Amino acid sequence: LADQEVTRILTHGGLAETPISDHYEHLKSLIAYANNRIIILPGGGVTYENCDEVMETLNVNEVHGTRIVNY
**Dist. CA 27–CA 9, nearest whole Å:** 11
Q: pLDDT by residue (tens digit) across 22-35?
A: 999 999 999 999 99
**DSSP-derived secondary structure for the chain:** -GGGT--EEEE-SS-TTS-GGGGHHHHHHHHHHHTTSSEEEEBSS-BTTTHHHHHHHHT-S--B-TB-S--
Q: Show Cβ contacts of residue 8 under 8 Å, excluding neighbours closer than 6 positions.
A: 38, 39, 40, 41
Q: pLDDT by residue (tens digit) across 8-66?
A: 999 999 998 999 999 999 999 999 999 999 999 999 999 999 999 999 999 999 999 87
